[in-house]
Chain A
Amino acid sequence: MSAGGEGVRLGAGSPFWRAVLYAVLLVFAVYYLLPLVIMLLNSVKPLSEIRGGNLLALPKVWTFEPWHSAWSTAQVGVQATGLKPYFINSFLMVFPAVAISAALGAINGYILTKWRFKGDSIVFGMMLFSCFIPFQIVLIPMAKVLGTIGLAGTVSGLVMVHVVYGIGFTTLFFRNYYAAFPTELIRSAQVDGAGFFRIFWRILLPSSGPIIVVSIIWQFTNIWNDFLFGASFADFDSQPMTVALNNLVQSSTGVKEYNVHFAGAVLAALPTLVVYIVSGRYFVRGLMAGAVKG
Chain B
Amino acid sequence: MTATSNVTTEPVLRRSSGATALRRGLQDWLPRIVLAPSFAVIILFVYGFIVFTAYLSMTSSTLLPRFDFIGLENYVKLFKLPNWWIALKNLAIFGSLYIGICCALGLFLAILLDQKIRGEGILRPIYLYPMALSFIVTGTAWKWFLDPGIGLDQTMHALGWASFHFDWIKNRDMAIYTVVIAAVWQSSGFVMAMFLAGLRGIDTEIMRAAAIDGAGPWQLYRRIIIPMLRPAFLSAFVVLAHMAIKSYDLVIALTNGGPGRATEVPATFMYSYTFTRSQMAIGAASAVIMLMMVASIIVPYLYSELSAERQQ
Contact = CB atoms under 8 A, between A and B. Distances in A.
Given A21-B115, A108-B38, A268 B134 contact: yes
B6 A293 contact: yes
A142 B38 CA distance: 17
A29 B125 CA distance: 10
Contacts, number: 340
8 contacts: A9-B116, A10-B218, A138-B49, A164-B42, A191-B15, A269-B137, A273-B129, A289-B1
B52 A140 contact: yes
B145 A126 contact: no
B21 interface: no
A9 B193 contact: no
B207 A262 contact: no
Given A136-B271, A191-B15, 9 more contacts: A1-B200, A29-B123, A53-B158, A123-B35, A133-B50, A141-B48, A177-B5, A245-B140, A293-B4
Contacts of B126: 29, 32-33
B231 interface: yes
B201 interface: yes
Contacts of B46: 126, 129-130, 133, 138, 164-165
Given A4-B115, A53-B155, A136-B270, A172 B294 contact: no
B221 interface: yes
Contacts of A228: 248-249
For chain B, what secondary structure do more than half of its interface residues adopt (helix, strand, loop), or is it mixed?
Answer: helix
A255 B31 CA distance: 59
Interface stretch (B68-76, B77-85, B169-177, B283-291): B283-291
A36 interface: yes
Given A38-B141, A183-B10, A137 B290 contact: yes
B128 A284 contact: yes
Q: Which 6 A-B pairs have the closest CB atoms?
A: A294-B201, A115-B31, A53-B154, A54-B158, A225-B134, A6-B204
A128 B302 CA distance: 8
B217 A9 contact: yes
B9 to A, nearest CB: 5
For chain A, what secondary structure do more than half of its interface residues adopt (helix, strand, loop), or is it mixed?
Answer: helix
B1 A288 contact: yes
A33 B145 CA distance: 13
Interface residues of B, number: 129
Contacts of B133: 225, 269, 272-273
B129 A292 contact: no
Interface of B: 1-13, 15-16, 18, 27, 30-32, 34-35, 38-39, 41-43, 45-50, 52-53, 56, 65, 109, 111-117, 120, 123, 125-138, 140-145, 150-152, 154-155, 157-159, 185, 189-190, 193-194, 197-201, 204, 207-208, 211, 217-218, 220-221, 225, 231-232, 235, 239, 242, 245-246, 248-249, 252-253, 256, 266-267, 270-271, 274-275, 280, 283-284, 286-288, 290-291, 294-295, 298-299, 302-303, 305-306, 310
Interface string A91-126: 000000000000010011001111111000101111
Interface of A: 1, 3-12, 21-22, 24-25, 28-29, 31-33, 35-36, 38-39, 42, 50-57, 104, 107-108, 111-117, 121, 123-130, 132-142, 144-145, 164-165, 167-168, 171-172, 176-177, 179-180, 183, 186-187, 190-191, 193, 195-196, 221, 224-225, 227-228, 231-232, 242, 245-246, 249-250, 258, 261-262, 264-266, 268-269, 272-273, 275-277, 280, 283-284, 287-294
